[in-house]
Structure 1
Amino acid sequence: MAPRPARQPPGDPPWLLVLAMGLTVAVTGCGTVPDQKLSLSGSSTVAPLAAEIAKRYEARHPGIRVDVQAGGSSRGIADARSGTAQIGLVSRALKPQEADLQATTIAIDGIALIVNGANPVRSLSDDQVRAVYTGAITNWRQLGGADAAITVVTKAEGRSTLELFLEHFRLDNRRIKASVVIGDNQQGLLTVAGDPHALGYVSIGTASQEAKAGTAIRLLPLAGVAPSLENVRSGRYPLSRPLNLVIQPPVAAGVADFLAFARTPEVRDLVEAQFFVPPAR
């Protein structure tokens, strides 16, 4: 008696697998573009806006995925230079020693002083801010507030918000007497919202968004100018900055396309939804 042929295990028959493999090869050979990935990293101020722009870009470009990570402007510069990320997120203008990089400005932001919403203090002079951050003033009573020690909140090294804050108030970071050192804007907002005696500084855009949502913070004027989009747009607000996408030339075609998209009217609503000012065209 002839031996019975071995039974096929359950599942797809071999011919179907071969056909599927053949179709895959055929489709690829017809020129279908494989999935592409763009990587962005850096400023925690720019990252949320970049992530929203990325979602819209992905919706218009099937097969392209955009990964956005925060970590500070210094990381954005380093990652763009090393190729760890194709685009660095940097919430300041490039420095002379960064002339090897190219920046595309996607929005304008400002830096605001923030206090807890229950704090009765409505404004601080530049001299008072300097005195608080260097330890010359340590109690809110010295500023017209409650008899309570000031919780001084500052940013960690590598954050452009820290650099600009120090430059504006003519401070040396080695002289800062900080109670709390935070990384991103959300940490700063949570710290100040949770401590009635805290003083900090964060992005106007992020702070305005949180205040509108009911977070217990208040933005203070700077040099008598309210921290508003209108004042940032007009140039009246004294502490503003560009929010940049930074690349190391030469730029790849896919990266150039994303940079161009991030400057189009198609994303203006996203910029304004984050409480930033769209750049001049």
Structure 2
Amino acid sequence: MKRFSLALAALLVLGLAATSMAADIAVKGSTTVQPIMQKAVEAFMAHNKGIAISISASGSGDGAKALIDGSTPLAMLSREMKASEIKLAQEKGVNPKQIVVAYDCITPVVNSANGVKNLTMAQLKDIYTGKVTNWKEVGGADMAISVVSRDSSSGTFEFWNEHVLKKERVYARAQMQASNGAVAQVVGKQKGAIGYVGLAYAHAPGLKALTVESVAGSVENTLNGTYPVSRGLYLYTNGEPSGDVAKLVNFILSDAGQKIVASVDYVPVKGSAAKKGKK
């Protein structure tokens, strides 16, 4: 009888552990979306004590892979899922649903000691393809340009590559970084460096945000369509979100959640309906 009681107790413990793990949500993907998710999750868990949420940010490509292989119910992407990713997902029985949670503008940044204030789209392309290698060629000091870029798993890289480089190959000597934070850190330490980051990272210590075509990256200029390098920020779920995942998504899209979006220097979806088709 004692042995039976011990076995029953063990089963109950395992059952409770399984229930606890089932309630956990592992969110994975974009480092650009991470500031929104981090702050939203903190606020959400403060009012939902029984729900545990972890966040792992290593790039939009990794977020898409995690959704496809089932290791996350909620993927963060700073780009839309590719047709090839959607096809692979559907082959594995996953039906990706896109949810726009914010807008962002990708902001070129230089070291705060750099005298350059503005670059055109053409100048940015020439710098990032290696055609321009000295700041004096774009109105700055006689100083070599150190190009800092995101790596290829990043949605930010893909957007920059498509909209700025026009799909030309990035400069072979570019320093490829795994996150927005890493780009900010490298540029902040190198006087001749240039990088690009999401708006939430553009004012990190040691950085100066550049205007593009004389337009500053800002919430206002993203909404009015004048800033030329703007995009949507996304969450993806497998089909219509349900349970605790739906509660979290609904919180991010609520007034309180959208205030969090604004508080980390991104552009809330609400009030942005006229801003159509941001990618």
Contact 1:152 1:177 (8 Å CA) reproduced: no
1:221 equivalent to 2:208? Answer no
Alignment partner of 1:150 out of 145, 151, 164? 145
Alignment partner of 2:54 out of 55, 64, 67? 67
- Distance between the aligned counterparts of 2:194 and 2:168, measured in 1? 16
- Distance between the aligned counterparts of 1:147 and 1:242, measured in 2? 37
Structure of larger gyration radius: 1
Offset of residue 178 of structure 1: 3.1
Alignment length (residue pairs)? 252
Instruction: Show the 5 A alignment for 1:30-41.
Output: 34=20, 36-41=23-28
Segments of 5+ residues of structure 1 without an aligned counterpart are 1-17
RMSD after superposition: 2.5
Offset of residue 173 of structure 1: 5.3
What is residue 246 of structure 2 aligned with on the other side? 256
Alignment partner of 1:54 out of 33, 37, 41? 41
- Distance between the aligned counterparts of 1:239 and 1:41, measured in 2? 24
What is residue 120 of structure 1 aligned with on the other side? 115
User: Given the superposition, is the C-alpha separation of residues 164 and 34 from structure 1 closer, same or farther in structure 2, using an over 3 Å criterion?
Assistant: closer
- The AA in structure 1 aligned to 2:251 is F
- Distance between the aligned counterparts of 1:118 and 1:170, measured in 2? 26
SS of 2:39 mapped into structure 1: helix
- Distance between the aligned counterparts of 1:136 and 1:220, measured in 2? 19
SS of 1:131 mapped into structure 2: helix
Offset of residue 144 of structure 1: 1.9
SS of 1:147 mapped into structure 2: coil
- The AA in structure 2 aligned to 1:206 is Y
Larger displacement relative to structure 2 (264-273 or 90-99): 90-99
Offset of residue 149 of structure 1: 0.9
Contact 1:93 1:241 (8 Å CA) reproduced: no
Offset of residue 34 of structure 1: 4.8
- Distance between the aligned counterparts of 2:239 and 2:69, measured in 1? 12
User: Given the superposition, is the C-alpha separation of residues 134 and 275 from structure 1 closer, same or farther in structure 2, using an over 3 Å criterion?
Assistant: same
What is residue 42 of structure 1 aligned with on the other side? 29
Alignment partner of 1:184 out of 146, 169, 179? 179
Offset of residue 179 of structure 1: 3.3
User: Given the superposition, is the C-alpha separation of residues 250 and 178 from structure 1 closer, same or farther in structure 2, using an over 3 Å criterion?
Assistant: same
SS of 1:161 mapped into structure 2: helix
1:129 equivalent to 2:124? Answer yes
- Distance between the aligned counterparts of 1:38 and 1:260, measured in 2? 15
Listed one character per residue, the Cα deviations across residues 161-187 of structure 1 (whole Å, up to 9, x for unaligned) are 111111112444535233311110111
What is residue 224 of structure 2 aligned with on the other side? 234
User: Given the superposition, is the C-alpha separation of residues 280 and 93 from structure 1 closer, same or farther in structure 2, using an over 3 Å criterion?
Assistant: farther
User: Given the superposition, is the C-alpha separation of residues 250 and 179 from structure 1 closer, same or farther in structure 2, using an over 3 Å criterion?
Assistant: closer
User: Given the superposition, is the C-alpha separation of residues 34 and 185 from structure 1 closer, same or farther in structure 2, using an over 3 Å criterion?
Assistant: closer
What is residue 272 of structure 1 aligned with on the other side? 262
- Distance between the aligned counterparts of 1:268 and 1:254, measured in 2? 19
Q: TM-score, normalised by structure 2?
A: 0.83
User: Given the superposition, is the C-alpha separation of residues 238 and 175 from structure 1 closer, same or farther in structure 2, using an over 3 Å criterion?
Assistant: closer
Runs of 4 or more consecutive aligned structure 1 residues displaced over 6 Å after TM superposition: none
Offset of residue 96 of structure 1: 4.0
- Distance between the aligned counterparts of 1:166 and 1:129, measured in 2? 11
Listed one character per residue, the Cα deviations across residues 86-111 of structure 1 (whole Å, up to 9, x for unaligned) are 11010123344437411212211110
- The AA in structure 1 aligned to 2:58 is G
What is residue 247 of structure 1 aligned with on the other side? 237
Segments of 5+ residues of structure 2 without an aligned counterpart are 88-94, 272-279
Contact 2:129 2:168 (8 Å CA) reproduced: no
